[in-house]
């Protein structure tokens, strides 16, 4: 494995950053998770755009232009020789002192890691996933806007702990009004009367790349999609439900808080979306070579 740090490549054992890096000390930084299928990077431009927008939102100047970042991502992939992979692209504030002041930090750190990832066992894609509703609320958008994909994931981790200790692998997070926001690492969708529903961005959700792809795929196949104010009631009465994310892709949800969704099996629209998404990810993308 070769890991990119600031234009140089290191082995896994030698890839290190300072213990004074504010990404470590305070979660001060941004990241993206990007998928590679058949030597093609899926939606690379969208991920890079979001990375640079997230950085701009926290006044973090990425030290290389976006086109150079694109070239560095592709070169890191070539060096690791993986045709199907997961890219973790990280930008930290850089080395500073033990105070909060981000402007005391030195040059930001750019890190590119290429590896594999599997968020859920294969059986969950075939039989569906059970989730719970977490007591941990989603951060207020007015405090930290969820459209910033930052390194500070403690809010999500606390909800993830609730899920795991409850015997499931994912949790739905509600916002401060008790409305459905998203899951710890994925966007959530439901299907009711043939209409696909997902919480609006204003509900405090990350504007997921995969979320947008699924919305586009559904509309291309004349399936109506609405971004709505969603309650747990809307989920409980849904005919189908599923989660989306770059790492997770599309995973069906068949049980929420112990209640079966639909007939307790992945539904036909969800299965179609999974099929269309699979084909799209193998056909589109930026070639590695």
List the catalytic residues. 149
The region that residue 123 occupies, defined by phi over 0 for left and psi between -120 and 50 for alpha, beta otherwise, is alpha
**Are the beta carbons of 250 and 270 closer than 8 angstroms?**
yes
Angle between helices 66-80 and 44-57 (to 10 degrees): 130
Strand bridging mode 129-133 / 249-256: parallel
Evaluate whether 278 touches 243 at the Cβ level (below 8 Å). Answer: no
Q: Which two tokens stand for residue 272?
A: 């179609």
- On whether the CB atoms of residues 102 and 93 are closer than 8 A, the answer is yes
């Amino acid at each position: 494995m070769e890991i990119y740090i600031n234009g140089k490549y290191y082995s896994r054992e030698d890839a290190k950053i300072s213990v004074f890096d504010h990404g470590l000390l305070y979660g001060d930084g941004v990241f993206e998770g990007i998928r590679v299928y058949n030597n093609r990077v899926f939606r690379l431009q969208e991920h890079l755009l979001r990375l640079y927008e997230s950085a701009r939102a926290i006044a973090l100047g990425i030290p290389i232009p976006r086109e150079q970042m694109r070239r560095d991502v592709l070169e890191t992939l070539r060096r690791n020789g993986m045709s199907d992979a997961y890219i973790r692209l990280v930008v930290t504030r850089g080395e500073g002192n033990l105070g909060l002041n981000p402007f005391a930090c030195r040059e930001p750190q750019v890190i590119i890691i290429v590896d594999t990832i599997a968020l859920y066992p294969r059986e969950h894609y075939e039989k569906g996933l059970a989730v719970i509703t977490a007591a941990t609320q989603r951060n207020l958008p007015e405090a930290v806007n969820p459209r910033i994909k930052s390194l500070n994931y403690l809010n999500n981790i606390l909800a993830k702990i609730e899920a795991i200790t409850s015997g499931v692998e994912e949790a739905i997070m509600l916002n401060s009004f008790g409305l459905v926001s998203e899951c710890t690492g994925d966007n959530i969708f439901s299907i009711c009367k043939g209409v696909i529903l997902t919480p609006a961005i204003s509900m405090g959700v990350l504007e997921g790349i995969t979320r947008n792809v699924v919305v586009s795929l559904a509309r291309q196949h004349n399936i109506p999609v609405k971004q709505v104010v969603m309650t747990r009631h809307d989920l409980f009465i849904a005919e189908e439900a599923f989660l989306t994310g770059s790492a997770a892709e599309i995973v069906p949800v068949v049980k929420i808080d112990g209640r079966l969704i639909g007939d307790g099996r992945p539904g036909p629209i969800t299965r179609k979306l999974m099929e269309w998404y699979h084909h799209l990810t193998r056909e589109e993308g930026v070639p590695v070579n």
